[in-house]
Structure 1
Amino acid sequence: MKRVLLFFLLFTISKYAYSQQLLSGSYKDKELQLVLSDIESKTDIIFSYSKELIGSMKITLNYKEVTIDELVKVISYETGLQLEQLSSQQIIITQNKQICGRIYDAETKEPLTLATVISSTEQAVTTDSTGYFSFESTSSTDVSLRVKYIGYGDQTISIPLGARCRDIYLDPSPESLDEVIILGYVTTGIDKYEDGSVSIDTDKLGILPGLVTPDIAQSIQLIPGITSLDESATGIQIRGGAPDQNLIFLDNIKLYNTGYFYGMFSAFNPYATQKAKIFKSGASPAYGDRVAGVIDISTGNEIPKKAQGGFGIDGLSVDGFFKAPVSDKVAVYLFARRSYADVWKSPTYDGYATKIFKNSGVVTNANNEVIEIISDDEFDINTSSNSFYYHDINAKVLVKPSDTDQIAISGLLTRNRLDFSFENGGEIRDDDLLTQNKGLSVHWRKQGSDLWRHDLKAYFSEYTSDYLNVEIVDNMLEESNTRNNEISDFGIDYNLTHYFPNGHIAAVGYQYTNADVLINIAKSEPLEPDNLEDNFESKEQKLNTSHALYAEYKHSFGNSGLLSIGIRGVQYSSLGQFYGEPRLNLEYPLSQAVRLKASAERRYQPISQLVEFNQTELRLENNLWTLSDDEQFPILSSTQFSAGLLVDYNGWTIDTDSYFKKINGLTSYTNGFSNPIIELSEGTSDILGVDILIKKKIENYRIWAGYTYNDIVYQFDALRSDAFPGNNDITHNFRISNTYQLNNWQFSLGWSYRTGEPLTPIASYDSNTAFATFGDVNSSRLEDFHRLDVSIIYDFNFSKEGKWRGRFGLSVLNLYDRKIPLSMIYRAEDEGEGGIELKQVVQRHSLGITPNAVFRVFF
């Protein structure tokens, strides 16, 4: 026993002595293998390692009177290798997966505390008081790091796995304002910013369910609180707001129409829209004239180092783009796209056409009994003909005459044309619709010094919608209907921003706009020219000029928090009044993983869309823009409050938002009630909602689920004495999506579900007289909607150098082919004491199974 105790005592003393042994040495650019052998000769230590791991690695060391433990740490830091002590004498050397470094100010060389480091594997850490950071990499290859700090320019570096710790120096930059707080908020290319906005970068956008091209309008519908009730690209509703209540810019050009083919396809060329910033609430006071969301799209602002471009074809259109530097200070962008349905109708087009032109179906009354409606529109999709095409062109010139100046000139043209006709028993009906946008903008930015920035923007936007319907019986023109809506909009915006020390920013600005709006509706019956009721023309032209002053104060905290306080004051000539719009937005981290969010705002809208049912036969794209006049069409006002928590930890993202919004100034003409006979009346909307996003990333697999609860209540005393569900009251909206990447393959599967749209039921119907009575407004609902979407993409190179790259993709919308009515509209005439004659029930159905394919080439 004594021998055992003696052995244990000697072992403990020797181990302590070993750990306290002091060593000195100096090696300059010497092979690591030789350095380790020299250390072994001076100690009892044995280093175990693979010669392939060490290779010809060299090291420079200069140490004096350090312990073995301290020396091991130095070697690990200098080589990037992991040295692990297995016993008192053996140290094993392996590949180190730890990424580490220190962040410094490039000018003062002072360490930067709480700088954010985000890896390409979406791991995020912050630096300590010495500027040091470290994390264990989950990647088996090189790691890309993005380093961010308030008031400094971002820096991206690539670190080989196992490399030594790096010293990283950031340059001060007052323009570095927009801080990403979650990279890959939903999926790659969709990021969350500290000002509450969500950004979509199409260059980085990963695969999405049912999509094979990076469509902005469809992509943003993955974000909770944003949806489309009719599956369209343009019917976007943000937190219960109508589509016309969203402010949409493309390169600072204000847009009034953003879709083709009755809004089913986006008017944004997917490869022209490089980046989009979306605000659901809490937008800067620089944004005005709308009461719902903001979608600010840019085609890019960088001068490429070399020419780049691409072209492709999908189930709807062909497109191409080209970006090239003219010099190191000038670049040109060009984007073009055209559909080919007028030449060949693909299965993709047929799926959308069936949805658009099939307006009939089973009709039931309030007791769910099937009733037969005598319709004066007996056309069928299978017996009709249609010719449809669209094209768009975007161009941009970028000029950087100096290091402090940048000038961008952008132009766009979109054109959508549809001819639809059918013949039935000698009767011919023909519809012709043309919609187009034209726009031009100039943006000059000058960085006056490190403290000042000037932005001067000017734009011109023109929107035209022309509709003509004719009815021909026995080769005689029996009736014609025309509807024309034109908008000419010109605006100027000047903004001055000052940067104070320690993250304080102040901005002031002035905006001038001039909007000229024309509405022309006419009906003619040449065979009965004396019938004044059926021969009329209504033409109205309104002009509105506005002057707006705005100011904003921002404070960016060093821990990536933000406080923004703003005020906007605007005067509208068409209303003759001045309106104030306060704004407040707060994002504050309670810890590294949890953030608090809150916002409050007041906003006004002087232009809206009225929904016109009677003078169009297709009754799908039936919205006409009109200016508020404080008589028939009051100005819209919105007050919104929101608060929530954002948790981002260990690959999990949980984002919750609760909000309340009140909208005043709604009218029965601007909300499109399905009621057959309705007089002009004014009402309000109260919106209570909750948005929830849950996302998890596991290596190359992502799964996310979004849920929105909405309680939208209308109060229209002329329609109902009590409150009732709003037209867009979708109580529950749920979506779950999955994506997986395997080498060059990407896979995505997504399922969506939502509550059916409110409906005014038919209480009774007499099939002999076609007279009907109706229940309470929006007292019933349509079927709940759900569908399953899938997509697959394969990327490849045409050559080893990778200068020419290719992409092939397949997608299917509504994989199990479930088709239901999404909305119903009643067409009727008031026959006085005889009652209401119901002429037609227009049903808008969901898409059936709709495939799509894409082939693209990039260079």
Structure 2
Amino acid sequence: MRHLLFVLSCLLWGICITNAQEFPLVDFEGTPLKTVIQYVEKETGLSFSYAEDLVKDKKITIQRGPLSIEAILSVLGAQTGLYFEKVEGQPQVIVVPITPNNQVCLFLLDKETRMPISENQVVIDSIKVLETTMNGLLRFAAEDRPAHSLVVSGYETVEVKPSDYCTSLYLSPVYKILNEVVVTSYITTGIDRNRDGSVTLSQKPLGAIPGLTTPDILQSIQMVPGVSSLDESASGIQIHGGTPDQNLILFDHIRLFNTGYLFGMLSRFNPYATEKATIFKTATSVAYGDRVSGVVDISTTDEVVEEFAGGFGLDGLSLDGYVKAPLNRKSSFFLYARRSYPDVYKSPTYEAYAKKIFNNMGTVTDRDGNPLNVTSDDGYTYESSDTHFRFYDINAKYILQPTEQDKISISALMTRNRTEFSFANSGESKRDSLTTGSGGFSVNWTHKSTPNRTEEITAYFSSYDSFYQNEEFFGDTQEETNIRGNRISDFGLNLKSDRYLQNGNRFMFGYQLSNTNVEVDLSTTSLDPENNMNLPVNESNFKNVLFGEYSLIKPNTGLLKFGIRLVHYGSLGQVYLEPRLNMELPIAKALRLRAGLERKNQPISQLIEFNQTELRLENNLWRLSDDVNFPLLQSNQISAGLLFHKNGWTLDIEGYYKRLSGLTSYSQGFTLPQPSLSVGKSSILGMDLLLKKRVGNYRFWMGYAFNDINFTFEAIQDGTFPGNNDITHNFQFSNSLQLNNFQFSLGWQLRTGSPFTPINSYNEDTHQVAFGTINSARLPTFHRLDASATYQIPFNQNQSKLQVGVSALNLYRRVVPLSITYRTSQTDNTLLLEQVIHRHSLGFTPNLTLRLFF
């Protein structure tokens, strides 16, 4: 009890001391600076030393409280362009002018609150990225140009001219329905953490990321702890232990069902078309639904441009270009295009990717490590194969802003990918081909009724098609043909209203409807008619949703958000409730507490086929839930964490627990044959941790993710066993440094190997096999070292520049298996092992980029 009383006394004493150093209310409206100084001297006992001419004609406006002495001095300095220096150990403040010294010297302030814009990211001339100080001061070298362009995060873009003295610049905040940023440069520049726990990644100015020289959204977000890809791909993103098909991916409101090229290794999104992406790992807003894991909301430029701009570039796989054209003062048109060129020239970058994707051989051993003589990939070698790969994508957008209150945008996307593979061995040959396409369009109208009220109407259509064909020949005789087709068409209408109330709180509500139609074509044709198969499927789901969300908001402090989705799925004929709760509260100036609770449902998921696991190309199929063979996926998740941010240090730690039901053996891709569909569930216990330190232009960050994923499939195995994507430990260590126009980054990642099912025994004569406990063994630990460097050459008098970049993945060339798949057959209750497929990690993968911006 004595200890408790002592602690409480210390806390009360600290609160009294803190309050004694704060002004309960500061209220000045156009008050002369000298009058304000006299007030501060009277209230604090401080003595100000200044020249009368220095403070003459300067006025102060502050209507805030409570404010500390340091905060008052910061505001006085920012509003006057003067330097208020408190003498150490003495009750004296010296007021002196600031000398620019051949620099542009600015104090940036919020035009509405008249407070300094502190520790905020600023992009200068689209080249240099700096951050304001605590009192809003920004200084940078003046180049030989008449004016400099400043892009201030959360505020309007302005032009400033060099001056002989330090000036105060008042900026109007850009009002958008976005989450308030609490940590700028959360990992590196361009990656910010929002108050609701989401992370926003901006293409400009995205800082250096190891192994990347272009701002690829899906590769870049994997720097965020809790977001990873177990097969090193761009599209195989897993968020908090969920599989890739459990993520909601939006591109300008268009729902996407496939996000990768070349077996998912490359993103379908043109890096220079994607302006930003917001990632939700937990506590998702009720505006998002139909997926049980994370959300990646990608958007392109949403502002009317005043000047023509563009660029084109070349890297190790593709050519791309874009233009941003103002049509008049109220409208703009944007066009982005990209095409691969490995069908013309196979670069070292392509060769590295092709070897990873198409080389599936490896040593097969039993659980004791003894080598087994098992066919691995039909004797295929990379040198004896023939591969072809090509893709293209086109993005277009039109923006019209007829009035200050209205904005209309029309966005369209079209992507195509074709991959072909063939090889021959001992008279037998196989040909694989996969063609996929994704695209759609959206129309969005945003109307601002008042500064505190916004209505939004969005209509969209998205499509996805996949056609996979596998042909097997013996000599000139075609022995078998397998076809896997999948087509999805999805259209919807979203109505949403956002209202900021007089007390600063926010109320958001809306209605959504959509219809999803799915077609599946499974067919096999062979010389033996008994093996022929033809299973066409056509199904649809009409959905209606009502949602509402109320947010208790305290400016620059806390957030408490609670909402609910009321969902009716036509294919299931039932109504589902999805409550959501999100909280983030400051418990100290540099420390914040957050917690979240959510329930989600998913009416569509991908199935993984077992009959053709020897095929090298992806053949996963989307199916709608019917609550019979394909149950509705349901998720309940709770999370809690702490965020510390001070003096360039950032520490963010979050723990979570998630339960999933409605899993099936078809959707999880177990590598053992199953006599029938098995339904199961999973539990996921995890933790994410980020530690970052910034010193000037140098940044170091370390990410760690812990996952404990347990599956329960009673029809397959008693008790629980590790999930297929159970990666217990995942570390990332990265550094980045900016020196003038140079950017360097170096990063190392290390993670636990994936689980797999070992072979207990194998008879080489009869091919009879006996497997051990499911996922009871682990593949080797995965780790690799990546690096990148870019250099920008600006051209005078305009924003044109040339960028040269060099990157390399896996500098020390370590290649390990990432997964093992067994192809089996069953005869008279005897299990036969026919083939073992290894999926390997990338080898050394260099890349070179050249880009011109104008």
Partners of 1:344 and 1:231 in 2: CA distance: 24
Matched, 1:406 2:407: yes
Check the 8 A contact 1:376/1:839 in 2, yes or no: no
1:155–1:170 CA contact under 8 A, matched in 2: no
Q: What SS does structure 2 have at the residue aligned with 1:382? A: helix
Report Cα offsets for 1:494-541 as digits up to 9, x if no partner. Answer: 11222211311112111111111111111111x33xx32x11111111
Query: Is contact 1:791–1:812 with CA below 8 Å preserved after alignment?
Result: yes
Q: Do residues 118 (structure 1) and 120 (structure 2) align?
A: yes
Distance 1:302 1:84, change over 3 A: closer
Q: Is the 8 A contact 1:806 1:858 kept in 2?
A: yes
C-alpha contact 2:566 2:578 (8 A) present in aligned 1: yes
TM-score by length of 2: 0.85
- Deviation at 1:450? 2.7
Deviation per CA, 1:332-357, whole angstroms, max 9, x where unpaired? 01000000011110000000000001
Q: CA deviation at 1:46?
A: 14
Per-residue CA deviation, residues 778-822 of structure 1 (Å, 9 max, x unaligned), is 11111110000011111103x432443101111110000000100
**CA separation of 1:631 and 1:176: change in aligned 2, threshold 3 A:** closer
1:646/1:147 Cα in 2 relative to 1: closer, same or farther (>3 Å)? Answer: same
Partner-residue secondary structure (3-state), 2:598 = strand
Count of matched residue pairs: 772
User: Alpha carbons of 1:277 and 1:250: their partners in 2 closer, same or farther (altered >3 Å)?
Assistant: same
User: Aligned partners of 1:145 and 1:706: how far apart in 2?
Assistant: 31
Q: Go from structure 1 to structure 2 and tell me whether the alpha carbon gap of 1:105 and 1:94 turns closer, same or farther (over 3 Å shift).
A: closer
Query: Partner of 2:750 in structure 1?
Result: 753
Q: Whole-Å Cα distance in 1 between the matches of residues 734 and 193 of structure 2?
A: 18
Counterpart pick for 1:736 among 728, 733, 736? 733
User: Is residue 785 from structure 1 mapped to residue 782 from structure 2 by the alignment?
Assistant: yes
1:698 counterpart letter in structure 2: V
Would you say the 8 A contact 1:82–1:95 is kept in 2?
A: no
The 5-angstrom pairing of residues 360-439 of structure 1 reads: 360-374=361-375, 377-439=378-440
Counterpart residue number, 2:848: 853
CA deviation after TM superposition for structure 1 residue 136, in Å: 7.6
1:675-695, CA deviations, whole angstroms, 9 ceiling, x for partnerless residues? 244531111111111100000
Amino acid at match of 1:608: S
For residues 132-179 of structure 1, the C-alpha deviation after alignment (integer angstroms, 9 at most, x for no partner) is xx3787977799999899xxx6687879799557374757x7646531
Give the Cα separation in 2 of the matches to 1:74 and 1:240.
50
Residues 764-783 of structure 1: per-residue CA shift (max 9 Å, x gap): 00111111100001111111
- Give the 5 Å matches for 1:686-835: 686-797=683-794, 799-833=795-829, 835=830
Task: Find the residue that maps to 1:291 and give its secondary structure.
Answer: coil
Instruction: State the secondary structure of the residue aligned to 2:588.
Output: coil
**In structure 1, what is the equivalent of residue 226 of structure 2?**
225
How far did residue 100 of structure 1 move? Answer: 9.1
1:428 Cα deviation (Å)?
A: 2.2
Which residue, out of 569, 572, 585, partners 1:575? 572
Match of 1:33 in 2: none
Distance 1:101 1:536, change over 3 A: closer
Q: Which residue of 1 aligns with 2:677?
A: 680
State how far apart, in whole Å, the 2-side matches of 1:809 and 1:374 are.
42
SS in 1 for 2:383: coil
Mapped partners of 2:755, 2:77: distance in 1? 70
- Secondary structure of residue in 2 paired with 1:296: strand
Q: Classify 1:113/1:556 alpha carbon distance in 2 versus 1 (closer, same or farther; 3 Å).
A: farther
Asked if the contact 1:616–1:622 (Cα under 8 Å) also holds between the matched residues in 2, the reply is: no
Whether the aligned pair in 1 keeps the contact of 2:119 and 2:131 (CA below 8 Å) is no
User: SS of the residue aligned with 1:830?
Assistant: strand
Indicate the residue corresponding to 2:468 in structure 1: 467
Query: Contact between 1:116 and 1:147, CA under 8 Å: does it hold in 2?
Result: no
Which protein has the larger Cα radius of gyration, Structure 1 or Structure 2?
1
Q: In structure 1, what is the Cα distance between the partners aligned to 2:291 and 2:241?
A: 13
What is the alpha-carbon distance in structure 1 between the residues aligned to residue 510 and residue 96 of structure 2?
61
Q: Tell me the equivalent position of 2:338.
A: 337
**8 Å contact from structure 1 (residues 154, 170) kept in 2:** yes
Q: In structure 2, how many angstroms separate the alpha carbons of the residues matched to 1:806 and 1:734?
A: 34
Mapping 1:88-103, distance limit 5 Å: none
- 2:204 is matched with 203
Matched residue SS, 1:352: helix
* CA contact 2:149–2:157 (8 Å) conserved in 1: no
Give the whole-Å Cα distance in 1 for the aligned partners of 2:413 and 2:169: 46
In 1, the alpha carbon distance for the partners of 2:329 and 2:315 equals 35
What's 2:358 paired with? 357
For the 8 Å contact 1:490–1:514, the answer to whether it is kept is yes
Between the aligned partners of 2:610 and 2:482, the Cα distance in structure 1 is 12
TM-superposed deviation, 1:840: 0.5
Q: How far 1:195 sits from its partner (Å)?
A: 1.8
Matched position secondary structure for 2:328? coil
Give the SS at the match of 1:326.
Answer: strand
Contact persistence 2:819–2:839 (CA under 8 A): yes
1:590 corresponds to which residue?
587
Conserved? CA contact 2:81–2:98, under 8 Å: no
* Alignment CA distance shift 1:194-1:162 (3 Å): farther
Change (3 A) 1:638 1:157: farther
* Contact 2:107-2:136 at 8 Å conserved across structures: no
- What do residues 96-144 of structure 1 show as CA deviations (whole Å, max 9, x unaligned)? 69999696765xxxx667975626444564xxxxxxxx37879777999
SS in 2 for 1:370: coil
Query: Contact conserved, 2:748 with 2:784, CA < 8 A, in 1?
Result: yes
SS in 1 for 2:503: helix
The one-letter amino acid of 1:307's match is F
- The whole-number CA distance in structure 2 between the counterparts of 1:421 and 1:473 is 13
> RMSD of the TM alignment (CA)?
3.0
- Matched residue type, 2:824: A
* Residue type at the aligned position of 1:824: I
Amino acid of the structure 2 residue aligned with 1:382 = E
Contact 2:365 2:371 (8 Å CA) reproduced: yes
Asked if 1 retains the 8 angstrom alpha-carbon contact of 2:631 and 2:662, the reply is yes
SS in 1 for 2:279: strand
CA distance in 2, matches of 1:814, 1:382: 22
* Residue identity opposite 1:776 in structure 2: T
Partner Cα distance (1:74, 1:322) in 2:
44
User: 1-side partners of 2:654 and 2:293: how far apart?
Assistant: 16
Q: How does 1:488-527 map to 2 (within 5 A)?
A: 488-525=489-526, 527=527
Distance 1:730 1:398 in 2: 44
Q: 1:138 to 1:408 in 2, by over 3 A?
A: closer
Structure 2 counterparts to residues 124-139 of structure 1, below 5 A: 125=134, 134=135
Equivalent residue number for residue 628 of structure 1: 625
* Distance across 1 between alignment mates of 2:799 and 2:411: 28
Between the aligned partners of 2:172 and 2:505, the Cα distance in structure 1 is: 19
Per the TM alignment, residue 848 of structure 1 is displaced from its structure 2 partner at its CA by 0.5
After superposition, the C-alpha distances for 1:275-302 in whole angstroms (9 at most, x for unaligned) are 1111001111110100000000011101
Paired amino acid for 1:638: S
- Opposite residue 741 of structure 1, the aligned amino acid is Q
Q: Which amino acid aligns with 1:630?
A: D
Is this contact kept in 2: 1:118–1:145, CA < 8 A? no
Alignment of 1:641-652 (within 5 A): 641-652=638-649
Structure-1 separation of matches of 2:599 and 2:50: 72
Residue 670 of structure 1 pairs with residue 663 of structure 2:
no
Contact 2:690–2:702 (CA<8 Å) still a contact in 1?
yes
**Higher mean Cα deviation, 718-727 or 340-349?**
718-727
